[in-house]
Amino acid sequence: MKKIYPYLIIPIFIILLTIILMDRKEQPNNKVITVLSNNTNLYHKENKIEFLFYINNNKHPLTNKDSYRDIIIKDIDENKALNLKLLDISYSHKEIYLKENYYAFNLIFDSVNLTNNYLINEAYLSINLINDENYLFKVGKFNITYLNDGIELPWSNLDSSKESEEDLSISNIIIELNENISNILNVYTNINESLKYDYTNDKLIISLNYINKLYNNNLPIIVETINNTYYINNHKYFVDYNLLNKSNEILNIYEVNWTKKR
């Protein structure tokens, strides 16, 4: 019987050594990707502010609302900064980028209390978690357009189109109206950027081509006429399930490694 022991000890030792090596093996880097976007919002106390991010670990604290301590939207020099109240984190979908799975999440914030327009040309989300980890993610342009008064645009159908399916963003917004509006002075998503448009037979076609350097999707529309200001609240026109592979030039990739408690 004793002669059997050496034959048992060796495989047991190998198994234990394998377990130890696997436990000590460095875990793959956790990464977050942001896509530089036109984060344009129309101010209203009922509206929500959203930011999209991708992460390759859907168990990371960044995917859990209760992990957040505070979040600030700001420019890099902190000349402009707003505290944001996180309401929820919603999962959207999964994409594959560089042969790795990434999970898309939306950070959903309450509206902020403003009485005028607010613009940060190069905005960053500064995030502090309750475990004292801190992150700074570049998100693109951040804008809140404030209207003293306005009338909801009387639309019957709202759609978008691309010049090509391979385009990063939508090229046009198509609005069919159920009544005529006349004497249009300006069309914009934010007051600093007037948009080209065509208005024929109660159909308003708005071109976004020249602002397509950033990703455009969740946008409001404001139409100024001689007599009124009309608006459509932020509208998400589609969900792009292959956005990362189209966005190479405007991607930001960050390592967000963390120590998992045992």
Interval 33-92: pLDDT, tens? 999 999 989 887 778 999 999 999 999 999 999 999 999 999 999 899 999 999 999 999
- Poorest-confidence range of 139-148, 204-213, 214-223, 239-248? 204-213
| DSSP code at position 246 | H
**Over 90: is that where the pLDDT of 11 sits?**
no
Which residue has 């399916």 as its token pair?
A: 165
Q: pTM score, two decimals?
A: 0.84
pLDDT of residue 25: 45
Residue 23's pLDDT band (cuts 50, 70, 90): very low
**249 falls in which pLDDT band (50, 70, 90)?**
confident
- Measuring CA to CA, which residue among 149, 145, 222 is closest to residue 181? 222
Q: Look at residue 100 and tell me whether its pLDDT is greater than 50.
A: yes
Higher pLDDT, 26 or 151: 151
Percent of the chain with pLDDT over 90: 59
Q: Is the pLDDT of residue 121 over 80?
A: yes
Contacts 24+ apart (CB under 8 A), 66-70: 66/130, 67/129, 67/130, 67/131, 68/127, 68/128, 68/129, 68/130, 69/128, 69/129, 69/130, 70/128
The stretch 116-137 carries a mean pLDDT of 94
Please answer whether residues 109 and 83 qualify as being in contact, where contact means their C-beta atoms are separated by less than 8 angstroms. no
Q: Which helix (DSSP H) or strand (DSSP E) does residue 96 occupy?
A: strand 86-97
- Using the predicted structure, report yes or no on whether residue 261 has a pLDDT greater than 60: no
- Going by pLDDT thresholds of 50, 70 and 90, the confidence category of residue 21 is very low
pLDDT digits (tens, 9 = 90+) for 178-212: 988 989 999 998 877 889 999 999 999 999 866 65
Residue 33 is predicted with a pLDDT of 98
Q: Which fold has domain 31-147+240-255?
A: Immunoglobulin-like (2.60.40)
